[in-house]
Amino acid sequence: MSRDLGISFCFGAAGGGENGDFGSAGSAELDRFILDSGKSLAEAAEWVLEGASSGEAGFGWYNLPDQNIDSVLAASLWLKGYEAIIHVGIGGSSLGNLMLHQALLPMYHNEVPGDGTPRFYLADNPDPEKTMAIWERARGRRTALIGVSKSGATAETMSQFLWFRSKIAESGAQPDDNVLVITDPEEGVFRSFARETKCRSLEIPPSVGGRYSGLSPSGLVTAAALGCDVKGLLSGAAAMRDFFATNRDARTNPALCLAAIHRFHELAGRPMAVLMPYSNRLETFAEWFAQLWGESVGKDGFGTTPVRALGAIDQHSQVQLYTAGPDDKLYTLINILERGTDIEIPPVSEKSLAPLSYLSGHKLGEMLGYEAASTAAALVKAGRPVVWIEADRLDARTLGALVFFYEYVTAVTGRLIGINPFDQPGVEQGKRYTYGMMGRGAYKDDSDEAFKYFAGIKKESISI
């Protein structure tokens, strides 16, 4: 791939092999698999393009780089007038925001004094302690409330939305003047609520699923309000998409190549996929990937389990397992060459610190990069399959490109497996059980079934 985006995808060790032997049987088998999969990969690429062109359900993420964001920017300007923003959502309606913010905003941005941006709080998990903690920090500030749900039926989101809305009203705000809902353009509880109350609203395209919605208004509006370059995000995504549109060969299209690599290792008995970025700014990117991957490809007994790791922290917690445990994982490491800030390690004069003098003059970012390379080399020596992704820098354009890259890889991998990468039937069953347990009338049978299964879990127990 060209360096237009400043990203390299390196697959030289993707086959694995005993003691890092790049001519091993594993590498040769992978090469043959990719070659034999050429027709299927080209068909999958065409399938994505046709689905997006025809507006089929699930394919809308492909067209997000072209969206008109005038309404998003107008809403973000309105949000900037508040002292705090409470964003209520779960799954793709929360991880997309966290991923964009962590990668592009100053670390601990809520604690940066006088920068003119609102404080941001994300209410995702309906843990009452977290919900109350958010309110305690927003209380007394002019606060905007954002609710994100395509259907307006997500119990975790709607319960917290109702609670925060009531607390803000109690504080004296004019009802719903400070509310923004992001939802389906025509249907659902939130759309009806917006029509009734005349609160602000933004649309999630019906063909965009929640875990693919990071570059939709649900992710972009708070990113823009807090100062992220959302046009840069979409520009990077568009550049990646346009590259894929004209490259249907796995030898020149890294997304097709990586999809084939994932499928190869699933068939070879490696049921886990580790994503390990060497940047704190990409920690939530790995979480976002875990939802995208797990919910998209884990169906009908197929799929690999996403594993989140962070370098260099997990060198001290997981790499022992990775190098000397079972050979059941594919590893992808992401390294950033130019870090926005770097710190030089000072010289030492004390005799007791003399053993550390080799560090003097080096920089922390330099060391983190060497640690990434060292981990990759240790994995290769142990015969583990490794994919190496390297970006010149982490800016909005790079991030947008990486988001689109992994969405594309996920869709193509699902097609190779033979499942629908855009639905989530397993999630829906859990939702039905929750609706029933919470007393939603139409789901009583689901409630009875859930309590029956749960009773079996507790049938045998040991109490201390």
Which band of pLDDT confidence, cut at 50, 70 and 90, is reported for residue 294?
A: very high
Give the pLDDT mean for 35-50. 97
Higher local confidence (pLDDT), 371 or 430: 371
283 against 152, higher pLDDT: 283
Q: Tell me: pLDDT of 389 over 90.
A: yes
For residue 160, is pLDDT > 50?
A: yes
How many domains are there within the chain? 2
Check whether 1 has a pLDDT greater than 50.
no
pLDDT on residue 18: 64
Beta carbons of 398 and 236 less than 8 angstroms apart: yes
Percent of the chain beyond pLDDT 70? 98
Q: Which of 215, 196, 195 is nearest to 205 (CA)?
A: 215
Say what the pLDDT of residue 346 is. 96
Check whether 114 has a pLDDT greater than 80: no
User: Is 110 found in the same domain as 33?
Assistant: no
225 or 442, which is more confident?
Answer: 225
Whether residue 142 sits in one domain with residue 259: no
pTM for the whole structure: 0.94
Does 241 map to a domain? no
Same structural domain, 80 and 223: yes
Same domain flag for 68 and 215: yes
Name 214's bridge partners. none
Torsion sign over Cα 259, 265, 269, 275: negative
Say yes or no: 254 and 385 in one domain: yes
**5-19, 98-112, 191-205: which has the minimum mean pLDDT?**
5-19
Instruction: Categorize the per-residue pLDDT at 24 as very low, low, confident or very high, splitting at 50, 70 and 90.
Output: low
Question: Mean pLDDT score of the chain, rounded to an integer?
Answer: 94
Known catalytic residue: 231? no
Marked catalytic residue, from 39, 316, 452, 458 = 316
Catalytic residue, candidates 295, 299, 329, 390: 295
* Residue that is last in its domain, among 165, 200, 230: 230
pLDDT at 316 over 70: yes
393 and 284 share a domain? yes
- Could you tell me if 222 and 262 lie in one domain? no
The CATH number linked to 140 is: 3.40.50.10490
| 329 is a catalytic site residue | no
The residue written with tokens 């020596």 in the block is: 381
The answer to whether position 422 is within a domain reads no
| Domain closes at, from 230, 261, 296 | 230
pLDDT digits (tens, 9 = 90+) for 123-141: 999 999 999 999 999 999 9
33 or 445, which is more confident: 33
Nearest to 156 by CA among 212, 98, 89, 207: 89
Task: Give the pLDDT mean for 184-190.
Answer: 95
Task: Output phi, psi for 300, to 5 deg.
Answer: 55, 30
Confidence (pLDDT) at 199: 97
pLDDT at 171: 86
Please indicate, yes or no, if residue 194 is contained in any of the structural domains. yes
Residue 428 lies in a domain: no
Q: Does residue 411 share a domain with residue 348?
A: yes
Q: How many residues does the chain have?
A: 464
Percent of the chain with pLDDT over 90: 83
In a domain, 443, yes or no: no
Q: Examine the domain organization and report whether 225 and 255 are in the same domain.
A: no
Interval 233-278: pLDDT, tens: 999 999 999 999 989 999 899 999 999 999 999 999 999 999 999 9
Question: Of 230, 262, 294, which residue sits at a domain end?
Answer: 230
Does residue 464 lie in a domain region?
no
- In-domain check, residue 432: no
Please indicate whether residue 363 is annotated as part of the active site. no
Distance CA 89, CA 14 (A): 36
Q: Decide if pLDDT at 37 tops 90.
A: yes
pLDDT above 50 (res 205): yes
Q: What is the mean pLDDT of residues 317-340?
A: 96
270 with 408, same domain: the answer is yes
Answer yes or no: do 267 and 352 share one domain. Answer: yes
Q: What is the pLDDT of residue 456?
A: 84
Q: Report the amino acid identity of residue 358.
A: Y
Residue 425 is assigned to a structural domain of this protein: no
pLDDT of residue 22 exceeding 60, the answer is no
Q: State which residues form the domain around 313.
A: 7-37+250-417
Are 157 and 280 contained in the same domain?
no
Q: Which among 189, 190, 181, 186 is positioned nearest to 147, based on CA atoms?
A: 181
pLDDT band at 411 (very low <50, low <70, confident <90, very high): very high
Instruction: Assess whether the previous peptide bond of 75 is cis (omega < 30° from 0).
Output: no
Rounded-to-integer distance, Cα 144 and Cα 120, Å: 10
